[in-house]
Amino acid sequence: MATVRLTKRLEFSASHRYHNPAWSDERNRQVFGSCNNLHGHGHNYLLEVTIQGAVDPATGMVVNLYDVKQVLQGVMEEFDHKDLHLDTAIFHGRIPTTENLSVVLWDRIAEKAQGFQLSRIRLFEEEDLYVDYEGAQRGDAPEVALTRRYQFSAAHRLHSPALSEEDNRKIFGKCNNPNGHGHNYTVEVTVRGSIHPETGMVTNLDQLDRVVDECVIRRFDHQHLNYDKAFAETVTTGENLVILLWQLLENALPDGTLDRIGVVETRDNYFEYSGEKSTAKTGRAAVQTGSDSMTPTRPEPAKTGSGAITPSHPKPAKTGSGPGGRRPAGFRR
């Protein structure tokens, strides 16, 4: 019988503070930045719970969504409008990062679930940062995927030198305009790994931001893609762009950490790619994980507006007051 997946969403509000009591105050500040502030900070979280199963022939449903809602509301009573590290017993022994919170929510929901099977939890801390957890373990630690969104603005023209002028106009239409056109591109970078027990994090976001800024934002923001050397012999389609971004970032991140790249060209066009991961890399920048000098660090909290969290592909990036009229690449948690 065919398996169907369905997703239920709900929002909740909570505050938290990142602090490892085994560390000195200086090291906590160094690793966690403003997330270590004494009185904490907060978020409007968006939780997406995906359930899978066979369709009941009598009801036509995998599960009654009312029953799912009752389970989720029961779980949320422990976390909604709470200070996670002070008010919830589960976080007295672990750091209330979004990575750890996603695992805790999975476990709590699984305990209370009656008659349905969890497939995935996606937890948005803010619209440009979310974590996916599917119940997987890597060794003794949970394995999660963390996605960070970045924006850049660029022009391009869809034109192939292998085609005649007439065929280019016929195939690409307005996108073949000789002077090009532009987009506010959103790039989704997803890294996957185990949660580090000392930090509760899967990657060093500050270093990830720097890698993306150096490899992608500085190169393409406010540029014309057709004049970039990488597109000297290829068409500047979303397909070719997402493959190029994978190659640039896969070569700059540690082996096996880059999980996928997504590119939002417009509200209607989304491209995603996961390439072959190479087995040997040398001479590259690395987003460090581990302990001591390799401990993931948490940058400062993001300063975001009052817009709602976007649960699916985001709208084209809004420009702001950052350099060049764009939002700065290094969003802060």
- Catalytic positions: 175, 222, 265
Longest C-alpha distance within the chain, in Å?
69
Given a contact cutoff of 8 angstroms between Cβ atoms, the answer to whether 300 and 332 are in contact is yes
Distance CA 253, CA 191 (A): 9
Angle CA(242)–CA(234)–CA(266) in degrees, nearest 5? 40
Collect all residues with Cβ–Cβ distance below 8 Å to 266 and sequence separation of at least 6: 183, 316
Angle CA(87)–CA(127)–CA(181) in degrees, nearest 5? 170
Question: What residues pair up with 7 in beta bridges, in sequence order?
Answer: 50
Distance CA 50, CA 58 (A): 22
The alpha carbon of 313 is separated from its chain's Cα centroid by a whole number of angstroms, namely 11
| Phi-psi category of residue 178: left, alpha or beta, with phi > 0 → left and psi -120 to 50 → alpha | alpha
Q: Give the CA distances from residue 280 to residues 45, 236, 256, 290, in Å, rounded to whole numbers and listed in that order.
A: 38, 29, 10, 20
Give the number of C-alpha atoms closer than 13 A to the C-alpha of residue 325, restricted to the C-beta side: 5
Collect all residues with Cβ–Cβ distance below 8 Å to 170 and sequence separation of at least 6: none
